[in-house]
Amino acid sequence: MPLFGNSFSPKKTPPRKWASLSNLHFLDRSTREAELGLEYGTPTMNLAGQSLRFEKGQWVSESGTFVGDRKDLQYLRRRNQQLEEENNLLRLKVDVLLDMLSETTAESHLLEKELEELKQHSQRRK
């Protein structure tokens, strides 16, 4: 015989009336923006003393010009060109390998088909 009883029945919790008691969702848009601060403006960042802002999908310098060493800029352009050429070469190699793979796969399927036909032909002779 159980010491404390044999059934456990917790009380049901009452349903919630509102998820939030805040009345901000009843306000119009301009009031909500003023209350919650939803006007952010354009994103800006500062990198190595260079201030940049995000406009029309690109980062633009605040001063309008790149403040950096000319040699660094030339090196970066040259390196970018090298990487683009390497990327194009690698894409070409991948395309060639895919063509080779599909050709080998097609040949393999043809050989398997021939093998099956030869097996069926040899079984008919027996």
| pLDDT tens, position by position, 78-108 | 999 999 999 999 999 999 999 999 999 999 9
| pLDDT tens, position by position, 36-55 | 666 667 778 887 778 888 88
DSSP 4-68: S-S---PPPPPPPS-S----GGGS-HHHHHHHHT----S-EEEETTEEEEEETTEEEESSSS--S
The domain containing residue 97 runs over which residues?
66-125
**Domain total for the chain?**
2
Tell which of 63, 86, 114 closes a domain.
63
The answer to whether residues 80 and 46 belong to one domain is no
What is the pLDDT, as a whole number, of residue 46?
A: 83
